[in-house]
Structure 1
Amino acid sequence: MVVPEGFVLPPWYLLVPLLVVFFGTATLLWTLEPPVTDRTVLAFAPWMMIGATAHVLYRLEVYPDAAAVLFASPGVYLVTATVGGLVWILGAFLEAGGLQRSKDRFLGIVGVVFFATSVLALLVESWNSGAFQPFWPVVAVVATGVVTALVWLALGLWFTDVAAVTGATGALVVFGHALDGISTAVGYDVLGASEEVPLSRLILEAGGALPTAEYVGAGWLFVVVKIVLAVVVLSLFKAYVEEEPTQARFLLALIAAVGLGPGVHNVLLFAVT
């Protein structure tokens, strides 16, 4: 099996319009060529988390049957990316018309509102069902903050140019992948959760086969792999960011989303189930 468990494509009559709108939005953004800065990437951070939250709501079966498949994986990420792109485009037009000071600010504010609303809906649903268990998810988030700070401090001391060039975008990449790694480790070692992604499952199984598994569990290897990969990617992207900052930061934003989205999904899912 090469795709994650739960991978469900929408039926063609939903998938085709979704892809048309998605590629239409991408084409318009390509035409407008808005600059991608650290502020832009941070403004997209809530959107990376919205998709994860919407997918957790799908797993709790809160959507109507006719629309539920749009919030399965990977449809939910296409929907989120499309809406986020459209909001970014709207922000660009509002900025050009003098109605908004910054399209990035508009994008971030709308994203925060959407994310807060979806999290509130999730918490209400879990509270009503009596399934709200926040302790270990909070531990995972706090540990991620500490690990990210230490990794970024080390990167700033020993690879100062990498940290300086990649900036807040690089920090988000480290945080996102650290959250994915730590939340996965907590779920696997403490909460008894299974891993849906085949490659991640192989790494966890490798960690479980080591002599250290008896004392510190299997998840630590996955955490190390995620953080090392994030740092290596930032090192490889340093020159690219200097030469093509818009393209490079856009790709780094996608890399951050690959970590932050699953990490937030883990944290929220563990909190409400």
Structure 2
Amino acid sequence: MVLPEGFVVPPWYLLVPVIVILGSVVALLWALEPPVTDRTVIAFAPWMMFGATLHVLYKLAAFPPSIESLFTAPMVYGVTAIVAGAVWIVAVFLHVGGLQRTISRFVGIAGTAFFTVFAFFAIFLSAETGTITPFWPVIAVVVAGIVTAVAWVTLSLWFTDVAATTGATGALVVFGHTLDGVTTAIGYDVLAASEDVPLSLLLLEAGEALPTAEYIGAGWLFVLVKVALAMVILGLFREYVEEQPQQARTVLALVAAVGLGPAVHNTLLFTVG
């Protein structure tokens, strides 16, 4: 099996409009050519978290049955991209009209607002059933922060040019994938959560087969691979960022989303039980 479990294709009458609207948003952004800097990538971090929150709400059955398939994987990514892209377009016009100092500031504030409102809604739904369990999510975020700091300092000392070139975008890539690794490890080792992605499950099972699994669990290998992979990707992207920074940072933002989205999904899902 190559595709993760839970991979859902919605009905054509929902799929087609999403594809058309997403294509239109991408085409307009392509024509506008808004700048993509470190600040732009960081501004889109809340949107990555927002998309994960929508998927958690889907698992909580918060949406009407007629549209709930819009928030399944991978459809939720397209829906999130449409909303975030539309806000980006609005931000461009507001900036050109002199109503906003920077484009990234408006995008970041809007994304933070969307994520906060929907995350609190998910927590509110779970609070009614008394299933709020914040202990392990908090531990995951703290551990991921520490591991990210160690990894970034190591990268800065041994491969200074890579860290300096990729900047905040690179740090977000490392943190997103580290948090994804830590939450997956905690879910697998502590909370007995299932893993839907075949490749991730293969790594977890490999860690479980090691003699260390009895003492430190199976997830540490998955965390190590995620962190190492993120740092290798940054190393491979160094020249690309130097030569074509706008395109390279756009691709790195997608790489960060692949880590941060599932990471926030795991964190929030563990929180709401």
Q: State the TM-score, normalizing by the size of structure 2.
A: 0.99
3-state SS, counterpart of residue 34 of structure 1: coil
2:238 matches 1:235? no
Residues 189-211 of structure 1 show CA distances to partners (whole Å, capped at 9, x for unaligned) of 00000101011001101111111
Matches within 5 A, 1:75-224: 75-224=75-224
TM-superposed CA distance for 1:2, in Å, is 1.1
User: Take 2:38 and 2:271, find their aligned partners in 1: how far apart are those partners?
Assistant: 30
TM-superposed CA distance for 1:32, in Å, is 1.1
User: Take 1:51 and 1:228, find their aligned partners in 2: how far apart are those partners?
Assistant: 25
2:266 matches 1:272? no
- Equivalent residue for 1:44? 44
User: Take 1:209 and 1:91, find their aligned partners in 2: how far apart are those partners?
Assistant: 51
Residues 49-71 of structure 1 show CA distances to partners (whole Å, capped at 9, x for unaligned) of 00101100100101111111101
3-state SS, counterpart of residue 21 of structure 2: helix
Query: How many percent of aligned residue pairs carry the same amino acid?
Result: 65
Name the aligned partner's letter for residue 222 of structure 1: F
User: Take 1:136 and 1:268, find their aligned partners in 2: how far apart are those partners?
Assistant: 10
Is there any run of 5+ residues in structure 1 with no aligned partner, and where?
none
2:68 matches 1:68? yes
**Aligned-pair Cα RMSD in Å:** 0.6
- Equivalent residue for 2:248? 248
User: Take 1:194 and 1:65, find their aligned partners in 2: how far apart are those partners?
Assistant: 25
TM-superposed CA distance for 1:155, in Å, is 0.8
Residues 7-30 of structure 1 show CA distances to partners (whole Å, capped at 9, x for unaligned) of 111100000000000011111111
Runs of 4+ in structure 1 displaced over 6 angstroms? none
Is there any run of 5+ residues in structure 2 with no aligned partner, and where?
none
Residues 107-128 of structure 1 show CA distances to partners (whole Å, capped at 9, x for unaligned) of 0010000000011101101111
Name the aligned partner's letter for residue 12 of structure 1: W
Name the aligned partner's letter for residue 124 of structure 2: V
Residue-pair matches, total? 273
User: Take 1:52 and 1:3, find their aligned partners in 2: how far apart are those partners?
Assistant: 18
Q: State the TM-score, normalizing by the size of structure 1.
A: 0.99
User: Take 1:26 and 1:249, find their aligned partners in 2: how far apart are those partners?
Assistant: 16
